[in-house]
């Protein structure tokens, strides 16, 4: 069973009804006793920690926190995320579907990689990934699964 291995990553894309984000966090954290990492690209404060009051503004720190919490599932809500990601621990990075969730790599260097997978046992599915040079690079990792759906 998943149990304590699950950490939910709630990506607040700004299209929820009034106070609905707080309800989602309350439902998972208080009522279902599930660890939740909050991502909200519109958060303007400092010292993000993945909580409801101080959400992360991108996916990368949510991946890092999920790995620390020994909860290897990062669910990404619909939206377009502009960032380069490195996965260096076994986890699942799951989007709703590639037509609704995209990760677009940052340019800056000729060898920029949008998603670098450096750990065994990584699953990536339901995401469209594109980059200015290399979209996905698997470096020394085994048992990596990539799927569009």
Give the per-residue pLDDT at 120: 93
Percent over 70 (pLDDT), the chain: 83
* Separation CA 26–CA 52 (nearest Å): 9
Please give the structure tokens belonging to residue 32: 């279902």
Q: Is the dihedral of CA 77, 78, 84, 90 positive or negative?
A: positive
What is the rounded distance in angstroms from the CA atom of residue 96 to the CA atom of residue 110?
30
Per-residue pLDDT for 110 more than 60? no
Q: How far apart are CA 135 and CA 116, in angstroms?
A: 8
- The pLDDT tens digits of the residues spanning 45-80 come to 778 888 778 888 888 888 888 777 665 677 777 778
Say which residues have a Cβ less than 8 Å from residue 137's Cβ, sequence separation at least 6: 113, 115, 116, 117
Candidate from 40-54, 76-90, 122-136 with smallest mean pLDDT: 40-54
Determine the Cα–Cα distance for residues 138 and 47; give it in Å rounded to an integer: 31
Give the model's confidence band at 124: pLDDT under 50 very low, under 70 low, under 90 confident, else very high: very high
Q: Is the pLDDT of residue 136 over 80?
A: yes
Task: Please state, in angstroms and rounded to a whole number, the distance separating the CA atoms of residues 91 and 124.
Answer: 9
């Amino acid at each position: 069973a998943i149990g304590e291995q699950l950490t939910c990553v709630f990506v607040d894309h700004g299209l929820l009804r009034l106070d609905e984000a707080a309800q989602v966090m309350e439902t998972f954290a208080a009522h279902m006793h599930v660890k939740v990492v909050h991502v909200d690209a519109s958060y303007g404060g400092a010292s993000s920690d993945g909580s409801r009051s101080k959400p992360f503004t991108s996916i990368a720190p949510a991946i890092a926190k999920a790995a620390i919490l020994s909860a290897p599932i990062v669910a990404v809500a619909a939206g377009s995320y502009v960032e380069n990601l490195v996965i260096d621990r076994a986890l699942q990075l799951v989007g709703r579907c590639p037509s609704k969730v995209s990760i677009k790599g940052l340019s800056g260097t000729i060898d920029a990689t949008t998603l670098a997978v450096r750990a065994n046992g990584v699953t990536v599915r339901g995401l469209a990934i594109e980059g200015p040079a290399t979209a996905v690079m698997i470096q020394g990792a085994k048992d990596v699964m990539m799927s569009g759906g």
